[in-house]
Amino acid sequence: MNKKPLEAIIVGGGHRSLTYAGLAELEPDMLRITGVADPDEFRRKSIAKRFNIPENRCFSSAEELAAVPKFADAVINGTMDHIHVSTAIPLLKAGYDMLLEKPFAVNEEEARLLVKTANEYGRKIMVCFVLRYAPFYQRIKDVIISDKIGEILNIQTNEYVSYHHMSTSHVRGKWNNSDRCHSSMLLAKCCHDLDIMMWLMGETKPSYISSFGYDTQFVKENAPENSGNRCLVDCPLVDTCLYSAKRLYIDHPDRWKVYVWDKLEHLENPTIEDKINLLKTSPYGVCAYKSDNNVVDHQTVSVFFENGATGTHNMVGGASKGTRTITITGTKGMIWGDFEEGKFTVSLINPAPGCEHDDTEYDMHINDDSHGGGDLALVKDFIAYCKDESTTPSCTSINDSLAGHLAVFLADKSMAENGIPQKVIL
């Protein structure tokens, strides 16, 4: 076993990259951060200070990094979705393996190009589908592998995006407009869920995808009477509206701080007044009904698998409570559970004595992080993957991740074509 820590470079120093890089501080014998590439000078310098990175290993872009001789084993690529492929390819060619944030591409052409490049150059890419590493889903996978519920006939997954998450990320924030972020709502929010569905189905591949979706809530026609254009500038409903920026971000200033206050990160201790002033001009202070969002707030995806099994995924934005739920029906039993609660039930057919069923509840609740305990487990598996050591069944190589991405791309194509089924070609 190679006991030397994996040396990695942060490319795109956002919240997700730093979460993964945090393992270097917790377990320095496993991971060392030896470089950074980010166009933002303040962020680049703060990361260099945090991880003790010398100035000659700090770069303003992935291309600049790729132009110097290779000095680490791998890259943690947490750039924005639409530049994942353009930043990944030169670094793969430069010899780096890669931990790559999801989604790994924003369209089918890019996805296939990245897979092709990784395979041609013999590079390892693990996609950050951290839900595969959450104990909740890992234990469900174990139950399926054990054949307790038999062959899967139907799998249903649902994601309910809370009203404050929906308004922050997909109505006002980074992923509210596909023309800018190049990601649909389904790709940005639910590629996790389609990946989970494909992973739980194992070797059974999808054959056809269809989908319907619409933006019903967050449109100008639904704006409250007498509402303004900016919550903290000209709106008399600032203290009563469900989506008031004051109620969501000033009254709860830490809930979405990594998104809403990103322009204040140069201030050591920004005040409430600083935050109020920022909201008067930032996208997060725009009326939720009058923003330039163009993504759907609910969508249903139907999947037909090659063995005749079926699957559905429902995304509903603006829910009172954010959670994911799952129901799997097999030939011998069922599984149903709630990810937020961390609990699921396995119900097995038992004909004796009177057409009964035997139920067992599993409690897998984890409080360690926002992905049910999966973040750092994923990084540890990536390190093992790079070192050619044994990995878990959750391992998300670029080839493993293609089916879930194609399901998203084809679902969005089907939705644009009024639900016409799309054939999956892997």
- For 26-39, write each residue's pLDDT tens digit: 999 999 999 999 99
Give the number of C-alpha atoms closer than 13 A to the C-alpha of residue 155, restricted to the C-beta side.
Answer: 26
DSSP one-letter code for 205: P
CB atoms within 10 A of CB 5: 18
Mean pLDDT score, 198-218: 96
**Residue tagged 């409570």 (tokens):** 321
How many angstroms separate the CA atoms of 47 and 39, rounded? Answer: 12
Q: Given a cut of 80, is residue 234 above it in pLDDT?
A: yes
β-partners of residue 9 are: 35, 75
Q: What is the pLDDT of residues 55-85, one digit of tens each?
A: 999 999 999 999 999 999 999 999 999 999 9
pLDDT the model gives residue 112: 97
pLDDT the model gives residue 372: 56
Mean pLDDT score, 333-345: 95
How many angstroms separate the CA atoms of 5 and 30, rounded? Answer: 4
Rounded alpha-carbon distances, angstroms, from residue 397 to 50, 114, 138, 400? 29, 12, 17, 5
How many angstroms separate the CA atoms of 404 and 400, rounded? Answer: 9
Q: Given a cut of 70, is residue 200 above it in pLDDT?
A: yes
Q: Given a cut of 90, is residue 353 above it in pLDDT?
A: no
How many angstroms separate the CA atoms of 138 and 145, rounded? Answer: 10
Rounded alpha-carbon distances, angstroms, from residue 272 to 143, 170, 278, 363? 49, 24, 10, 40
**Percent of the chain clearing pLDDT 90 (strictly above):** 91
* Maximum average pLDDT range among 13-17, 48-52, 252-256, 339-343: 48-52
How many angstroms separate the CA atoms of 125 and 104, rounded? Answer: 10
The band of 365, judged by pLDDT with boundaries at 50, 70 and 90, is: confident
How many angstroms separate the CA atoms of 11 and 16, rounded? Answer: 11
Q: What is the pLDDT of residues 147-199, one digit of tens each?
A: 999 999 999 999 999 999 999 999 999 999 999 989 999 999 999 999 999 99
Q: What is the pLDDT of residues 89-129, one digit of tens each?
A: 999 999 999 999 999 999 999 999 999 999 999 999 999 99
CB atoms within 10 A of CB 316: 14
Q: Tell me the residue type at 342.
A: G
Q: What are phi and psi of 299, to 5 degrees?
A: -155, 140
The band of 366, judged by pLDDT with boundaries at 50, 70 and 90, is: low
CB 69 within 8 A of CB 159: no
Average pLDDT over the chain reads 95
Q: Given a cut of 60, is residue 370 above it in pLDDT?
A: no
Q: Given a cut of 60, is residue 291 above it in pLDDT?
A: yes
Q: Rounded to 10 degrees, what is the CA torsion of 35, 15, 24, 137?
A: -130
Structure tokens at 200: 């739980």
Q: What is the arrangement of strands in the sheet containing 125-127, beginning at the earlier edge strand?
A: 58-59, 31-37, 6-11, 74-77, 97-100, 125-127
